[in-house]
Amino acid sequence: MTNSAIPRVLISGASQGIGAAIAEAFANADTPVHLALVARNEAGLRAAAERCSGAASVEIFPADASDPEQVAALKAKLSPVDVLVNNAGRWLGKPVTEMSVTEFDDILGANLRSTFLLSNLVLPGMLAAGRGDIFNMVSTAAYEGYAGVSAYCAAKHGVLGFSRALREEVKGKNIRVCTVSPGPTYSPSWEGTGIDAKRLMPPKDIARVFLQMYQMDRNVVVEEMILRPQVGHIASE
């Protein structure tokens, strides 16, 4: 815990969609938290922060979580972090034959490298404190292969594998590593696809899962949770 005894929760990709919903869920929880919100979109971060008035405090850090230099720069600005939610990520729908190396690397960076960089940033402090939580946003794409979404599937398979290995590294050290793998959930990335938003899961329900994992007894680790809409698999149209 931080010196104030009020936990600090760092959420990446917090400017919109599920990330912003997670921030609101923690801000409105019965137990107060300090929020640290990270995303590339500063305007989106400010808007998200305004909806988190229930938090003990809210700080925003405009930064690209996949950029090693920008993440390193956060170290001097951030107070010790008790809870990390690795939510930053991007999606790309493109067949392998039409995808450039740059595009492939960009998706790996946004989803997988960002998870490593932020975990690497906060983990020493958690180990020193003897307590912490690292919650990683994965996807049903970590368990399956979707045609035309190879880069994203590869990245999310990587996040899942990284999370499993990290959990073993910190076992017995009072640091929980949990993953949440939602299927199609409403976010701006679905706009223009022709999919009815009613067929997608609401971000607030995915966000609630992260908060509930955190609120469980510390002897309980939700290793992996998969959430799907009742309609089943939805391909973008």
| Tens digits of residue pLDDT in 164-185 | 999 999 999 999 999 999 999 9
Q: Does the residue 233 lie in any domain?
A: no
* 192: pLDDT strictly greater than 70: no
- Is residue 29 situated within a structural domain? yes
Output 54 or 233, whichever has higher pLDDT: 54
> What is the share, in percent, of the chain residues with pLDDT greater than 90?
87
Task: Choose the catalytic residue: 143, 146, 152, 214.
Answer: 152
pLDDT of residue 195: 73
* 152 given a catalytic annotation: yes
Q: Is residue 1 part of a domain?
A: no
d(CA 207, CA 49): 16
Which residue range(s) make up the domain with 67?
Answer: 8-227
Q: Is residue 143 part of a domain?
A: yes
Q: What is the CATH number of the domain that holds 119?
A: 3.40.50.720
Q: Write out the H or E segment, with its range, that includes residue 24.
A: helix 17-27
Residue 236 domain flag:
no
Tell whether 30 is covered by a domain.
yes
Picking from 45, 30, 89, the residue whose alpha carbon sits closest to that of residue 65 is 89
Answer whether residue 237 shows pLDDT above 70.
Answer: no
Could you tell me if residue 161 is inside a domain?
Answer: yes
pLDDT in tens, 57-99: 999 999 999 999 999 999 999 999 999 999 999 989 999 999 9
Q: Is residue 16 part of a domain?
A: yes
Residue 193 predicted with pLDDT over 70? no
Q: What is the pTM of this model?
A: 0.93
What radius of gyration do the chain's Cα atoms show?
17
* Cα-Cα end-to-end distance for the chain: 46
Reduced to 3 states (helix: H, G, I; strand: E, B; else coil), residue 123 is: helix
Predicted confidence band of residue 29 (pLDDT cuts 50, 70, 90)? very high
Q: How many CA atoms lie within 13 A of 223 on its CB side?
A: 9
pLDDT at residue 114 is higher than 60: yes
d(CA 24, CA 204): 9
pLDDT the model gives residue 235: 52
Cβ proximity of 203 and 24 under 8 Å:
no
> How many domains does the chain fold into?
1
Find how far residue 51's CA is from the centre of its chain. 18
Give the up-direction half-sphere exposure of residue 189: CA atoms within 13 A in the CB hemisphere. Answer: 13
Dump pLDDT digits (tens) for 198-218.
789 999 999 999 999 999 999
Report the interhelical angle of 150-169 vs 114-129 (nearest 10°).
Answer: 10
Largest CA distance in the chain: 53
Other C-beta atoms lying within 10 Å of the C-beta of residue 26: 24
